[in-house]
Amino acid sequence: SWITPPDFQNRGLSTELRVRLGPTGEVLGTPVVVRSSGDPYWDDNVIRALMKASPLPAPPEPGDWPFLFSPEE
């Protein structure tokens, strides 16, 4: 699990990514930022956290999937 750094809590940041997942949930390639939070440090940390979490649960089918990251969720 990911622990949100205290500096980022209650700031209303969210980042939307497009992530390519393989059949067993592995992250393929680097996720693409679809909508930035406006804070490059936050966005970079979101991408790194997602890469470290690989493999994710297996998707219904491999391909590109949207992910929304927000410290409130």
Domain map (residue ranges) of the chain? 22-69
* Cα 3 from Cα 15, distance rounded (Å): 16
* Cα 46 from Cα 2, distance rounded (Å): 9
Q: How many CB atoms lie within 10 A of CB 15?
A: 23
Q: How confident is the model over 17-30, as pLDDT tens digits? A: 999 999 999 999 99
Q: How confident is the model over 48-70, as pLDDT tens digits? A: 999 999 999 999 999 999 999 88
Residue 10: pLDDT above 90? no
pTM of structure: 0.80
What is the structure's pLDDT at 11?
Answer: 72
Find the Cα–Cα–Cα–Cα dihedral 33, 4, 67, 23, rounded to 10°.
110
Backbone angles phi, psi at 63, to 5 degrees: 145, -165
